[in-house]
Structure 1
Amino acid sequence: MEYATRTIYSEYAALKTTLGIIEVKKKRPRDPLTDQSDRLLIVIEAKEEPFWTVKHYQVGQEKIILHLVSDSMMDRWILMNENRRAIHWIEDGMVLFERNTFLLDLRQRLRNFSNDEQRLQLSLAFAKLLRRFEDGRSLFLQEEHQDAFTQIHHALTHLARLSVLEAGIHPEIVLWKQVRTLDLEIYKLHEELVSGQESLEQRIHLVIIGMEHLIQSKVLPGTLLLLQTMQQRDEPWPFSELMEHPNLQALKVDLGSIVGFLVRKGYIRSVARPTKGVGVEAIAYEIA
């Protein structure tokens, strides 16, 4: 079996563009970490453009899945928290091939990620938290309790991720196991929402109240990237310029929610400017 596996990845090990090859074996039947295969091979290649493709193989009774992924795509998965399985692959996988110290350096990066990466991930988690929470609260007020539950549960998950990130740790697939150790208050809110004895309406209401307090405590870490960007100049920022700023590209979709929230809470203020249209004013934003 090991020889057959080697024949699958050996052609990639011979390529100068291959930076590392990892093997992950299943730990349980239908293991999601290995795409429900018996073993997973991850080949990381040096490519400027994000690239990812998957190949399936059968060796005897074993199913083997090969992921070909560029280093730029792996960076994106880690930085944007788009594929949390990749964290496990890198941390727990067996190194089959490594060029220089690529995988060693990647593992070190996961354990000690930079302030810039942490700030971006905190901002992404906070943006998603706000969007889901506001949608959930709106649905709750409309008495759409089933849909409100879904949105509030998603919001609570993003709040949990934010708490884990604050501790300088990458969120894992077993998120609530992490949160139980790091932030018992959020963990208990989750327990109340999913398994409390009250009615669905009462559970959602109690969790919304609890989350409002917790969200307020996460404002500064969750919006630091935006606030620091706005401090780069004294002149107010039109919303379109904030959207196009290189620092904020990853926040484009939810930037409106963050800005609106910060205005309501008094962290930033809106400034009206005259336009050529009669009675029409353009709005820009500055630090309060």
Structure 2
Amino acid sequence: MAMKREESQQTYLNKLRQRPDVQAVLVLPVSDLLVPFRDGAFYLVVVNQPQAEGKIRRLHIQGRVVMEQQISTWQLEKGAVSGLDERLAALLWRADIVWDKDGYMKQMKIRLSRLPVALQKKFICREYSQLLRFFHETKEFLQQGLILDAHHALIQSLHSWARLIVYEAGEHPQAALWSQVKQMDSSVFKLYEELSINGEALEKRIELLVLAIEFWITSKVKESVTFLMEVMESKAGPWRLEELVNHPAIVDAQIDVPLLIDKMLQRQLIQEVVFTEGANGDRESGVILLR
């Protein structure tokens, strides 16, 4: 029976190799956390057709489940420049190469493992803005006496903080994020540990972590918003909020610009200005970078 399964799977792989559009085939280890089953296989098939992006199939080969997810070379090339979807990136880094035409995937894995400085700044800015948002939610829920909601928001705050630390180290977040952070910043790991397993009352644990996070947020504003400041440096004069939010470098970056603007105003990194009144009498404010 085992031989039939092996032959069947080998036939499946041979068919993939013979397809002219297939560039590479990768497989995830069965023991991997991202594999949703144990009696089967998860294949990533790299093809040179953009329209195949995201295509996924669930196959049955002699009693075994085989998941096949297609990835286009165009998607990978774009990801090497502007960042890859994190789940897909995690799959690629952990997958083993089964077949690789012209060594394409081996080189692509090397390219994707590097975090370009421009992307690093963008991702740090994104995670900092998410940290701010969840931190504000934590404080609001805490003030309202909604302890479990405050706990949930605080967990999300710590998660964004952890991801930011990983990006600062020039790496990509892994599935076992806290194991990764433990090697990079033990103090942040211990804060997460305190929240998770400390025997004190939950409200008290949350209050202590709020103080620690608030101090870090305040001390790291300038370094964390470098990406946004560089965007603002691209033109002289003030920016309307709408201009910044819809800037091509920001629009799809999942950065909470209004929250960052408030924080940058508090730290006097930018200055608020008022534009000339419009026809309806509104006085719209904007911001200008202080040099």
Question: For 1:49 and 1:137, how far apart are their aligned partners in 2?
Answer: 45
CA offset at residue 114 of structure 1?
Answer: 1.2
Give the alignment partner of residue 114 of structure 2, picking from 109, 112, 115.
112
Which AA in structure 1 matches 2:37? Q
What residue number does 1:138 align with? 140
Tell me the number of residue pairs that the alignment of Structure 1 and Structure 2 aligns: 284
What residue number does 2:234 align with? 232
CA offset at residue 132 of structure 1?
Answer: 1.3
Which AA in structure 2 matches 1:8? Y
Which AA in structure 2 matches 1:214? W
Residues 50, 72 of structure 1: CA spacing in aligned structure 2 closer, same or farther, 3 A cutoff?
farther
Q: Is the 8 A contact 1:269 1:286 kept in 2?
A: yes
RMSD: 2.4
What residue number does 2:155 align with? 153
Residues 11-22 of structure 1: pairs in structure 2 closer than 5 A: 11-22=15-26
Q: Flag the structure with larger Rg.
A: 2
Question: For 1:146 and 1:167, how far apart are their aligned partners in 2?
Answer: 32
What residue number does 1:36 align with? 37
Which AA in structure 1 matches 2:122? L
CA offset at residue 271 of structure 1?
Answer: 0.9
Gaps of 5+ in 2: none
What residue number does 2:104 align with? 102
Give the alignment partner of residue 8 of structure 1, picking from 12, 36, 54.
12
1:133-167 alpha-carbon deviations (Å, 9 max, x no partner): 11122111111111111011011011001001111
Question: For 2:223 and 2:10, how far apart are their aligned partners in 1?
Answer: 46
1:177-220 alpha-carbon deviations (Å, 9 max, x no partner): 11111001111110111112221111111111111122234323
Residues 12, 261 of structure 1: CA spacing in aligned structure 2 closer, same or farther, 3 A cutoff?
farther
Question: For 2:16 and 2:157, how far apart are their aligned partners in 1?
Answer: 41
CA offset at residue 74 of structure 1?
Answer: 4.7
Secondary structure of the residue aligned to 2:99 is strand
Residues 276, 92 of structure 1: CA spacing in aligned structure 2 closer, same or farther, 3 A cutoff?
closer
1:101-160 alpha-carbon deviations (Å, 9 max, x no partner): 321222212332211221222222222212211112211111111111101101101100
What residue number does 2:274 align with? 272
Question: For 2:241 and 2:49, how far apart are their aligned partners in 1?
Answer: 34
What residue number does 2:190 align with? 188
Q: Is the 8 A contact 1:268 1:285 kept in 2?
A: yes
Question: For 1:36 and 1:124, how far apart are their aligned partners in 2?
Answer: 33
Q: Is the 8 A contact 1:126 1:222 kept in 2?
A: yes
CA offset at residue 34 of structure 1?
Answer: 1.4
CA offset at residue 287 of structure 1?
Answer: 1.1
Secondary structure of the residue aligned to 1:280 is coil
CA offset at residue 58 of structure 1?
Answer: 2.0
Gaps of 5+ in 1: none
1:201-243 alpha-carbon deviations (Å, 9 max, x no partner): 1111111111112223432342111100101122111111112
Name the TM-score, length of structure 1 as normaliser.
0.89
What residue number does 2:175 align with? 173
Question: For 1:211 and 1:47, how far apart are their aligned partners in 2?
Answer: 46
Residues 275, 202 of structure 1: CA spacing in aligned structure 2 closer, same or farther, 3 A cutoff?
same
CA offset at residue 18 of structure 1?
Answer: 2.6
CA offset at residue 76 of structure 1?
Answer: 7.0
CA offset at residue 275 of structure 1?
Answer: 1.5
Q: Is the 8 A contact 2:126 2:254 kept in 1?
A: no
Residues 128, 97 of structure 1: CA spacing in aligned structure 2 closer, same or farther, 3 A cutoff?
same
Secondary structure of the residue aligned to 1:136 is helix
Q: Is the 8 A contact 1:110 1:170 kept in 2?
A: no
